[in-house]
Structure 1
Amino acid sequence: MNPHMHRPCKSSIAEEVRDSLKKGSHIAALALALTIPDAYGKLEYPKDGSGERYRKWYRQYCAFCISAQTDSKPTMLGFDEHTCYKLRCELLHAGDADLKPKELNGFVGEEHSGKDVSFTLRVGMGSGTGATWPKDKPNEAEYHLAINIEELCNALCDAADQYERQHPLASQEFPRYEMDDLRQSVVFHFSEH
Structure 2
Amino acid sequence: MVDRIVKEINICLENDCYISALGMALTLPDICGKAKYPQWKKQNVGLRYKKWYDEYIGFREIPSGPHSEDFSYLSGEVVYSLRNCLLHQGTPNIDNNRITEKRCKMDYFILVINKDEHITSSEFALNHDGARSGCGMKVDLYSLCGKLTRAASDYYHSNKELFDFFSVSVNTIIQSHPRAAKFHCELCRFSFLSEIVKFSKLYSKTVLRIPISVGAFKIFCKTAFL
Please say if residues 72 and 135 of structure 2, whose CA atoms lie closer than 8 Å, have aligned partners that are also in contact. no
Q: Which has the higher helix share?
A: 2
Aligned match for 2:113, one of 109, 120, 123: 123
TM normalised by structure 2 equals 0.65
Question: Which of the pair has more CA radius of gyration?
Answer: 2
Please say if residues 13 and 175 of structure 1, whose CA atoms lie closer than 8 Å, have aligned partners that are also in contact. no
- Which whole-Å CA distance do the structure 2 matches of 1:14 and 1:177 have between them? 16
Q: Secondary structure at the match of 2:137?
A: strand
CA RMSD in angstroms, aligned pairs only: 3.3
- Which whole-Å CA distance do the structure 2 matches of 1:115 and 1:165 have between them? 34
Aligned match for 1:86, one of 81, 84, 103: 81
1:1-193 correspondence to structure 2 within 5 Å? 12-48=4-40, 49-62=44-57, 65-71=60-66, 73-100=68-95, 106-108=101-103, 116-124=106-114, 125=117, 126-131=119-124, 141-170=133-162, 173=165, 178-184=170-176, 185-186=180-181, 187=184, 188=186, 189-190=188-189, 192=193
Q: Which has the higher strand share?
A: 1
The Cα of 1:59 is off from its aligned counterpart by 1.5
Please say if residues 33 and 49 of structure 2, whose CA atoms lie closer than 8 Å, have aligned partners that are also in contact. yes
Identity of aligned residues (%): 22
The Cα of 1:156 is off from its aligned counterpart by 0.6
**Structure with more contact order per residue of length (Cα contacts < 8 Å, sep ≥ 6):** 1
Q: Secondary structure at the match of 2:154?
A: helix
Please say if residues 100 and 118 of structure 1, whose CA atoms lie closer than 8 Å, have aligned partners that are also in contact. no
Relative to 1, partners in 2 of residues 1:25 and 1:72: Cα closer, same or farther, differing over 3 Å?
same
Relative to 1, partners in 2 of residues 1:182 and 1:137: Cα closer, same or farther, differing over 3 Å?
farther
TM normalised by structure 1 equals 0.75
Please say if residues 65 and 78 of structure 1, whose CA atoms lie closer than 8 Å, have aligned partners that are also in contact. no
User: May I ask how many residue pairs the two structures share in their alignment?
Assistant: 179
